Structure 1
Amino acid sequence: MTPPSITVYERDANVVPAGREGYTISLAGHDETGGLYAARDLGILDDVMKHAVQSFGNKFEFTMWNSSWSELLTQKHEPAPGLPASGIRIARKKLRQVLTDVVGRERVIWNTTCVDAERLHNGRMLVKLSGSHLSENDSTAECDLLIIADGASSKLRASLRPNDTLQYTGIMQKGGLAIFPNGIPKPVDEKWGLIVSSGKGVACFLSPYDETSVSWGLSYRAPTIEEPLRISSIEEAQSVIEESKELGKEFVEPFQSILDATDPKSVSRLAARDKQPFSHDLSLGPAIFIGDSNHAITPFSGYGASLAMKDGWDLATHLCGSQSLEEAVKAYDATSIPRATKMLKESRQRIDMSHVTGL
């Protein structure tokens, strides 16, 4: 059988842009829904493990501290059979590197955004492209199957499913990457997790990024989305850091030192939003949504990357093992939707637990 011809259009540049490299993500390995399972099936598990910032070989531990850094709870999982760890933290840019290397960088068209799509009379999909390097003749592409993985704010979902939008969870988050040339302060040098305030609705996620830096995200309840979300200057970034110091004034050291050590170029502001998964309607054309483009999930789940990787593997498996696209998509939906629904529910529960107010 002749393998399909695959082209990947990637919005970002070949070199990871500033503002998107300064955080780590979780890949779970304590059951078959985790990203490490997908990495194993893809044959890239060893390469992924080489880049792990933290690897929980015997157990996966998520720590929750109070404002004085006393441990409130530790969530533990054993590694699933056949996996070397129950979970890892990995820099986003390193995971992207491993995935693009295995796909083949020659298949990736960088700095190119898919902005619109429509079904043609011949049953194929026409995709409209945007990029400063594209000529008028290169501004569209046709394909037999369009697999959409353009994130929570998917432009193609907005085109094909305009009423399927993100829902604001009532939580805002400010974050950044703190640099410590002489080493990360304790206890973040060895653990990752969440500091929570005593009933004031404020929490801070912390995780080592490498040996000398730590990513942080201070989250709090806000009735509406705070604008603007995009940080456009060093002065604005410094203002966000100062606001975070005030919001987290209850947290003792090393919290304030982490904020003081933050690189202003890494500072971000985001609104935590999510979206329920949906079943596919092929009357819109041969287009399949995977990852956050289908079921957006907040960072509080720690499971977005795992879901996306499992979606990709499961979709490929069903496409290769089915007699028709309709059969493959039906099987894919039956696998991916319950998995995403479960994690969305757990994400909302974690938000409620982390940002409790009052007694």
Structure 2
Amino acid sequence: MNHTPARIAVIGAGPGGLICARILQRHGIDVTVHDLDASATARDQGGTLDMHPDTGQYALRAAGLWNDFTPLARPEGEQWRLVGRDGQTLFDAAPPQEGRGRPEIDRGKLRDLLLGSLNPGTVRWGHRLQRAEPLGEGRHRLHFAHGVSSDADLVVGADGAWSRVRRVLSDAVPVYTGVTFVETGLHDAALRHPALAALTGDGTMMALDDNLGIVAQRNSGGHIRVYVGMRTPQDWYRRAGVDPADPHAVRDALLERFADWSPALCGFITDTDTGYTNRPLFALPVPHTWDHTPGVTLLGDAAHLMSPFSGMGANLAMRDGADLAQALIGHGSLDDAVTAYEEILLPRSIEAAEGAAEGIDGAFAPDSAEQTLAHMAAHH
């Protein structure tokens, strides 16, 4: 690669794509990242992430960013608490001591860290990919929504759940998992919502029972993100005659579903500062594989979209990005590098996706409280 300059285009400025670009640039390899967002601040990046040692942490170290990451992380955010539907704590795991665990970081802060590590102009914002046109010999022409096109010798699909790059390699499309989250949130929780803040603790609180769940996740700045989960048809609000844009109607419908839950837990539904956002959960079929095609590959959700109950999505994407970059650095040709990368990526993705499918099925089941308690006790 150092002797054969190539045009490398990463589609998607998520953690995996940015890690890949950062490592390539550290080794003097040019790369361009295209993202559909109008700017780095165009939308909320979501909740908090725990960085696993062999995936997210590995990628940060490979990118030379570990020392920049640690001041932004929240080790206390590793606390896990399981609560019954009556509001009583069933299990409470404190974070590991001496930095041996999985420190938390807000997604927005992680993205800012990665973006700040790249050369100016690396990311081209407002570039929504429409299609990748094969030109032969592994080259592709990228056509963007605003009429601009560019050619690449390698296209890296880091463009998430509804990847346009994936269409070059696979006919697979994400399918509904049967579970929907309704996201809400609490601002300045310690002062405005002290009882809910205490119930959440310093990390993540989960209450799961009989195909329902409430997950509260501590973020920085005193904010708590809340996910109200249900195993339900994807169009549950339509069947219930609820306008998802009407917060009062959504609140009342959720309270009806959780009518026999503790009032303390129902406070996560009623005491919203952000309103309600409907988020059906999708996953790619398992296993998701593709035949090697010169000049194009995938990483992250584009390759292995899975439920958030794996706890692995962003971490795997970052490890994917690091592995792909290191393969490109270490091999003499693009095709040899991508072949080597995919030989690592595909079996790892299948294993993780199988675990994620089992995780969400166990979390939203008639006996989910018992299953979750047994799982947490076994892993802490």
Report the TM-score when normalising by structure 2: 0.78
The answer to whether structure 1 residue 8 and structure 2 residue 33 are counterparts is yes
User: Could you tell me how far apart the structure 2 residues matched to 1:331 and 1:76 are?
Assistant: 39
User: Could you tell me how far apart the structure 1 residues matched to 2:254 and 2:117 are?
Assistant: 39
- Provide the residue aligned with 1:55 in structure 2: 75
The answer to whether structure 1 residue 66 and structure 2 residue 66 are counterparts is no
- Provide the residue aligned with 1:179 in structure 2: 187
Alignment root-mean-square deviation, CA: 2.8
What percent of counterpart residues are identical? 23
The match for 2:118 among 62, 82, 103 is 103
User: Could you tell me how far apart the structure 1 residues matched to 2:259 and 2:187 are?
Assistant: 20
User: Could you tell me how far apart the structure 2 residues matched to 1:122 and 1:297 are?
Assistant: 32
- Provide the residue aligned with 2:213 in structure 1: 203
- Provide the residue aligned with 1:353 in structure 2: 362
* Contact 1:55/1:85 (8 A) holds in 2: no
Cα deviation 1:188-241 (Å, max 9, x = unaligned): 1323131112xx21012211112421001111112445578xxxx994344333
Cα deviation 1:134-172 (Å, max 9, x = unaligned): 4x4xx1111111111110111222x32462111222111
Secondary structure in structure 2 of the residue aligned to 1:4: coil
Report the TM-score when normalising by structure 1: 0.82
- Provide the residue aligned with 1:218 in structure 2: 228
Which one scores higher on RCO, CA 8 angstroms, separation ≥ 6?
2
Query: Measured at CA, do residues 235 and 318 of structure 1 come closer, stay the same or move farther in structure 2, by a change above 3 Å?
Result: closer
Q: Give the AA of the match of 1:217.
A: Y
User: Could you tell me how far apart the structure 2 residues matched to 1:322 and 1:237 are?
Assistant: 54
User: Could you tell me how far apart the structure 1 residues matched to 2:235 and 2:244 are?
Assistant: 22
User: Could you tell me how far apart the structure 1 residues matched to 2:108 and 2:359 are?
Assistant: 26
- Provide the residue aligned with 2:346 in structure 1: 337
306-315 vs 84-93, which moves further = 84-93
User: Could you tell me how far apart the structure 2 residues matched to 1:329 and 1:76 are?
Assistant: 41
Q: Give the AA of the match of 1:188.
A: T
Query: Measured at CA, do residues 11 and 105 of structure 1 come closer, stay the same or move farther in structure 2, by a change above 3 Å?
Result: farther
1:132-151 equivalences under 5 Å are: 134=146, 136=147, 139-151=148-160
Shift of 1:118: 1.7
Structure 1 residue runs without a partner (length 5+): none
Secondary structure in structure 1 of the residue aligned to 2:219: strand
Matched pairs, number: 334
User: Could you tell me how far apart the structure 2 residues matched to 1:87 and 1:238 are?
Assistant: 38
Shift of 1:115: 1.9
- Provide the residue aligned with 1:260 in structure 2: 270
- Provide the residue aligned with 1:325 in structure 2: 334
- Provide the residue aligned with 2:201 in structure 1: 189
User: Could you tell me how far apart the structure 2 residues matched to 1:254 and 1:336 are?
Assistant: 43
- Provide the residue aligned with 2:307 in structure 1: 298
1:124-135 equivalences under 5 Å are: 124-130=139-145, 134=146
Shift of 1:22: 4.5
Cα deviation 1:293-337 (Å, max 9, x = unaligned): 010011121210000000000011111112333322232122222
Query: Measured at CA, do residues 353 and 129 of structure 1 come closer, stay the same or move farther in structure 2, by a change above 3 Å?
Result: same
* Contact 1:22/1:176 (8 A) holds in 2: no
Shift of 1:38: 1.2
Q: Give the AA of the match of 1:70.
A: Q
340-349 vs 211-220, which moves further = 340-349
- Provide the residue aligned with 1:313 in structure 2: 322
Q: Give the AA of the match of 1:110.
A: W
User: Could you tell me how far apart the structure 2 residues matched to 1:259 and 1:356 are?
Assistant: 21
